[in-house]
Chain A
Amino acid sequence: MSVTRRQVVTAAGLAGLGGLAMKVEGALLPDDDMVAIPAGKCRLGTIRPEAERLAREYGCHVTWLSGEYPERTVDLPEFAIDRYPVTNRQYAAFCKATGYPPRGHWIGPEPPEAILDHPVLMVNQEDCRAYARWARKRLPTEDEWEKAARGTEARQFPWGNRFDPEACRWNMDDPTKPLGFPRTAPVNAHPKGASPYGVMDLCGNAAEWVEGSPGPGSGIIKGGCWMTQTPMNLRPAARNMSGFAVNQAMFVGFRCAKDVK
């Protein structure tokens, strides 16, 4: 199923982000709260001189960014993408409707109340596809995800070119925090993290599976997560954390996309 323009929230209609969070907390309709990303060209990846600058900034050998260069320009048709990552609440509704198994970190058939609006974790690429099929959506491609995050101007971060530690959930793997301290955050907790289109929570919190594979058995993961300690790996262009597609990790979730006709 595809959606019409009227069913998605356009970038122009994003002024009041706070109100949109209501949809996450309220009734769940899989088509809720998607953002239309206009058709057109964008620059993805990283040009080599920029990779060299970033390597100096982050104290690594430039080849740690080698999955990102050369930069490429792609021309994508219009598509819609979920404003927020899929939450535990949404994934639980899917499990209830289909009999799909609950996630490992729920410690039971349903997620704890405290993390209902946090991103679902412990999903592998196929778990994400199963949800997307149920929601009559699909996973975004890597190119779509990166465009939704960086806009057409190849921003370093969704909010701009300078890292803002308040704009995402990161570096929370802190042994000094008490047991039970929530490492993730609600998906709408970082309004400063909005992308040029108003897509939220793309960096940190849950890293996100996208469609596609860098090699046999592998899947692509984007955006860094609550454990990520360096902004280098929170950048939407980063690719180093892409891993085994069958693994269900405690830091990986997803969001869905859809064709727009």
Chain B
Amino acid sequence: MGAIQVRGITHNMGMQLDNVPAFPKNAFGGSFPEAIGDSARSFWYGSIKPEWSTDGDKVISKGAQPNEVEYTITFTTTDETVDIVTEVTNISDKPWKQSQAFNCFSPIGAVDVRDHDCVRHYVGIKGELTPLLKVPRKFGPRPTIQLYAVEGGPKWQDIPFVANFQCSPDDVQLEPWMAIESKDRKRVIAIATKPCLYLFQNMEFSCIHAASGFGPLNPGQSGKSLTRLSFVRQGIREWYARMKKEMAEANA
């Protein structure tokens, strides 16, 4: 079937994925970004109308909010991954104490894997594969959503974008990825980001998110992150072992 295809939605921050070999007849979509810029006052989905283009085997989305934020997102695919490089620039005249590119990876059109009950959602805690249901949850004003701090990152209370939702459990820090195992337990979808600022999941859409964090950005400064979407024919434990190995190799 070849590589996964990325299809940007014209003048829209959303995209769809076609031809996903591990999940034939399933539809995946997402928002890249769903919100971007200063984490204290990000520009949300719909407020920026990006231009989508191709360059060889890459798909590129370029968007800007005049005098505020500018970004370029580059998608590169294989038959089981979509690598997403996000570059964001502060073009405002104000320093951003903390910057982000919040994204969304949605399998709501993927009957083989969607999981509104989170019974097949997984996260990592200090090297241990952990069912999301085992992780503390905080009931908030929108009960379907939950945001999590990541290991090595700031506390959720120190991320204005996250604190605003009032639904992050205290004293929980997760590895910078989330995954959902398919109903047949033989396949996995996942999102991982480096550097990652926080994780988000929404039971309403069965979507998983790993937001990019670029740290403080002064006017004119840029940040860069890598997000990987995975669609593999492996069970969750096998995929997790493989992912840890790949991350170790990348870090080396």
Contacts and interface: CB of A to CB of B under 8 A. Distances in A.
Interface of A: 58-61, 63-64, 66-67, 173-175, 214-218, 227-230, 232-233, 239-244, 247, 249, 251
Contacts of B136: 61, 63
- List the 7 closest pairs (A to B, CB-CB), nearest first: A215-B141, A60-B133, A67-B139, A243-B204, A66-B139, A63-B136, A243-B144
B203 interface: yes
A60 B134 contact: yes
A182 to B, nearest CB: 14
A175 B134 contact: no
Contacts of B134: 59-61
A59 B121 CA distance: 13
A60 B204 CA distance: 18
Given A63-B136, A173-B114, A175-B183, A214 B143 contact: yes
A230 B117 contact: yes
Contacts of B203: 240-241, 243
B144 A242 contact: yes
Contacts of B133: 58-61, 64
Nearest to A249: B204
B143 A239 contact: yes
Contacts of A232: 117
Given A66-B139, A214-B141, 9 more contacts: A59-B133, A60-B134, A61-B136, A66-B138, A173-B114, A175-B112, A242-B144, A243-B144, A251-B116
A67 B115 CA distance: 20
Interface of B is mostly: loop
A227 B134 CA distance: 21
Given A64-B133, A229-B117, A243 B143 contact: yes
A112 to B, nearest CB: 20
A230 to B, nearest CB: 5
A240 B119 contact: no
Contacts of B114: 173
B233 interface: no
A218 B141 contact: yes
Nearest to A247: B204
B117 A233 contact: yes
Contacts of A242: 142-144
B156 to A, nearest CB: 15
Interface in B132-166: 133-144
Contacts of A214: 140-143
A202 B219 CA distance: 55
B131 A59 contact: yes
Contact of B144 (A58, A66, A175, A241): A241
Contacts of A229: 115-117, 119
B148 to A, nearest CB: 13
A94 B112 CA distance: 35
